Amino acid sequence: MQETKRRQLLRSINLSALSACAAGLPLLATVQVSASAANAGSNNLERVMVTGTATSVRSFQVDQARSATKTDTALLDTPQAIAVVPRSVLEDQAAGDLFEAARNVSGVSRQSSYWGQNGGTFRVRGFDLDEGTGYLRDGFRYNARGRLMMSNVQSVEVLKGPASVLYGRAEPGGLANIVSMEPGRERQQQLKLKLGSYQTYDLDLMAGGALDEAARFRYRVDVELEDNKSFRQHVYSKAQAVAPQLLWLPDDKTRIKAYFEWQRQNVLADYGIPSWQGRPAEVPHDRYYGELGNQQRSQQDRASLSLERKLAQDWTLRLGATQSRFRYADGYSEVYGSNVGPAEAGNAMDAGLAPGTPRLTRYQGISPERKRQRSLQAELTGKVEAFGRQHTLLFGLERSRVNAQTDPSYWGAYPSIAIFAPVLSGRPVLPQGLDISHSRTQDDISAGFVQLEAELSEPLRLLLGLRHDRYQQDYFYQSGQDKPVSTVTHDAANSPRLGLLWKLSSDWSAYLSASRSFAPAGAYQSASQNKKFKPLIGEQRELGFKWERADGRLTASGSVFDLRKRNVVTKDPNDERQSIQIGMERSTGLELDLAAEPLRGLQLIASYARLHARVADSTDYKPGLLLPFTPRDSGSLWLSWRPGSQALGLRNWMLGSGLFASGQRQADLENTVKAPGYLRWDASLAADWADWRLQLNLDNLGDTRYIDSGPGGVAVLNPGKPRSLSLSLNRTFQ
């Protein structure tokens, strides 16, 4: 056991010295590394924060992620599947959104919604990650509606399977924790300019460092400016974002961090292309079927404050508070496809189309949506000895409130458009003549949890956790002149997790785990239907292995699982504005993830998944129907080579290339439309000299024509980006 601890300590020191992933510690990272450094009296052991892009070693291997247990347990000792995409991968691939980071993880596919494809959200093991509960920023819930600020992302942790034992209400597929880059000791400024195909322009600025000689006060400010057009006709995105943060280390036992993020975005909502006769319509992938009034102007801000205090040698207290707000500044207006079929004589919405013409029926809507979320957290972590072995305990409390309002909303039919010869109507999206509705919700959540990580013997370890949630939702809804509907929903749930892990050797481990997730009924209730839905329950059984070489040059993991989601809520096929519960969905499969340095200077990250995600029991859908946009087979492979050549006075040449593959997918839950599989090839080339970095990224070199995602219907299929390139120039100022 002592030898294992010694190897883990040496490995963590080595990784910190190489700046591979030390800056990716989450918001509530423990102070044990800092304490060890202080005890040793050496500055070399102090945590190193990555604030630049030019490092001597840019490893793809990561050996720790806090989101799985909220403790400092190594990935090798964690009995649940979790994959980490570090900053080095994001930079080499020039990841532009969250999905472009997560696509390196097995079992992940892009998700889009009826708000359009503009957020980079995704699904895991066949189940969508809810934008309000499936994403964390430094351990706090993060509203994933809209774009994500990427310039200050240190890593993306994808925890697979139910995670309610630590995080409460959530979908069963898992969750993603976005780890921010923290303020470093050294003063530094960066400027990054990125130009790309289809008139895309991005400017990133960063300034940070210590504010005093002792580096007790440290700051970091990130700024992003975006002005992008698209390969899609008329589509654009303009955004501004700023994220200041302050880190205060008053003594060797205390750590206080404040983080603020503000973003504003103006986009033309994009709902892709329709299907026809069971396939994506044979139309140019740049064709637009919305209206030029589909503008969405959104604004969001988020603030968090955390305190971490080492109470004793083995006990640490963490306190956290966060608030986030999201709103559409002027409401949002949209025209989107709802169904496909031949135009009908006498149908007012088909006016101007000859009967039998293939057409896309459309809806229109305007809604001034607003959402606010507040949360308080308290956690106590400690190590105790019993029966001659050391164990880790975690206790936690959480209290949160979520307010949402769409008041008023306007919805109604909009003129159809021909699929193969579309003509935009030019008619503005206006509330006149539309159905008007008002809705307001308030969710109150109280929870407590406990977790034990026990070392039963030298090779055998136990992970045991239990969380209890109490949930109340106050819901108000009124449509037109109808009588208002006001409901109060109460739910409560226990979310357990059990894991057994065998250390087969110092490099290998195998595990067996079972876990449960909970999502309250009120969050999915359609008040206009005036009925109460049952709580959504997820259950998973998982068997897996993990391998990590002693020299840190290879990490691998694999798992087989059986994941079930009961009381599933989905869109009513007869009325897309309503919801129904369909019984149970089930996902089973095999997943493999690998990160390695097979040769000096050659980094590799790869993944493969074989999934079978389907309807298992339903009164509305036939059992056996496949879940939308979840391929049976999918995988990825990326290699980055740094030969270390000094040719032309340059250093750190980098040549990267990778493949991203997906099998055929069903576009809708009725399985009436198929999206073909695809293979996409990307490449990159970069070089550093002095304080400069120049990088060229080529995406979809083969110009593969493919469908990337969809919300799960026949009328909205989002095409993948065709061949494109981007050129970025980065300057670092010391």
Residue 419 near residue 392 (C-beta atoms within 8 A): no
CA distance 539 to 554: 31
Categorize the per-residue pLDDT at 123 as very low, low, confident or very high, splitting at 50, 70 and 90. very high
Mean pLDDT for the chain? 87
Of 719 and 424, the structure prediction assigns the larger pLDDT to 719
So what's the pLDDT on residue 282? 97
> Helices marked H in 19-72 — which ranges?
32-40
pLDDT of 84 above 70: yes
- Note the residue count of the chain: 734
Categorize the per-residue pLDDT at 330 as very low, low, confident or very high, splitting at 50, 70 and 90. low
pLDDT of 521 above 90: no
Point out the least confidently predicted range of 207-221, 291-305, 596-610.
Answer: 291-305
Categorize the per-residue pLDDT at 39 as very low, low, confident or very high, splitting at 50, 70 and 90. very low
pLDDT of 47 above 60: no
Hey, what long-range contacts does 237-242 have (CB within 8 A, 24 or more apart)?
237/118, 237/147, 237/265, 237/266, 237/267, 237/268, 238/265, 238/266, 238/267, 239/147, 239/263, 239/264, 239/265, 239/266, 240/264, 241/147, 241/149
pLDDT of 629 above 80: yes
So what's the pLDDT on residue 430? 66
Residue 454 near residue 465 (C-beta atoms within 8 A): no
- Kindly state the average pLDDT of the residues 483-489: 86
Angle between helices 2-18 and 32-40 (to 10 degrees): 90
Which residue type is seen at 168?
Answer: G
So what's the pLDDT on residue 40? 38
- Kindly state the average pLDDT of the residues 82-90: 97
Point out the least confidently predicted range of 413-422, 424-433, 473-482.
Answer: 424-433
pTM, two decimal places: 0.88
Categorize the per-residue pLDDT at 2 as very low, low, confident or very high, splitting at 50, 70 and 90. very low
The proportion of the chain whose per-residue pLDDT surpasses 90, expressed as a percent, equals 65
Residue 248 φ/ψ region, left for φ over 0, alpha for ψ in the -120 to 50 degree band, beta for the rest: beta
- Within 8 A by CB and 6+ apart from 650, the residues are 687, 688, 689
pLDDT of 463 above 90: yes
The proportion of the chain whose per-residue pLDDT surpasses 70, expressed as a percent, equals 86
Q: What is the 3-state secondary structure (H, E, C) of 87-117?
A: HHHHHHHCCCCHHHHHCCCCCEEECCECCEC
- Kindly state the average pLDDT of the residues 92-117: 86
For 652-700, write each residue's pLDDT tens digit: 899 999 999 999 999 999 999 999 999 999 999 999 888 999 999 999 9
So what's the pLDDT on residue 56? 39
Of 722 and 142, the structure prediction assigns the larger pLDDT to 722
So what's the pLDDT on residue 28? 30
Of 20 and 168, the structure prediction assigns the larger pLDDT to 168
Cis before 368 (ω within 30): no
Tell me the CATH number for domain 2-733. Answer: 2.40.170.20
- Kindly state the average pLDDT of the residues 163-170: 94
- Kindly state the average pLDDT of the residues 311-324: 94
Give the torsion sign (CA, 49, 53, 55, 57): positive
Categorize the per-residue pLDDT at 12 as very low, low, confident or very high, splitting at 50, 70 and 90. very low
Categorize the per-residue pLDDT at 112 as very low, low, confident or very high, splitting at 50, 70 and 90. confident
For 526-584, write each residue's pLDDT tens digit: 544 556 778 899 999 999 999 999 888 999 999 999 999 998 877 666 665 567 787 89
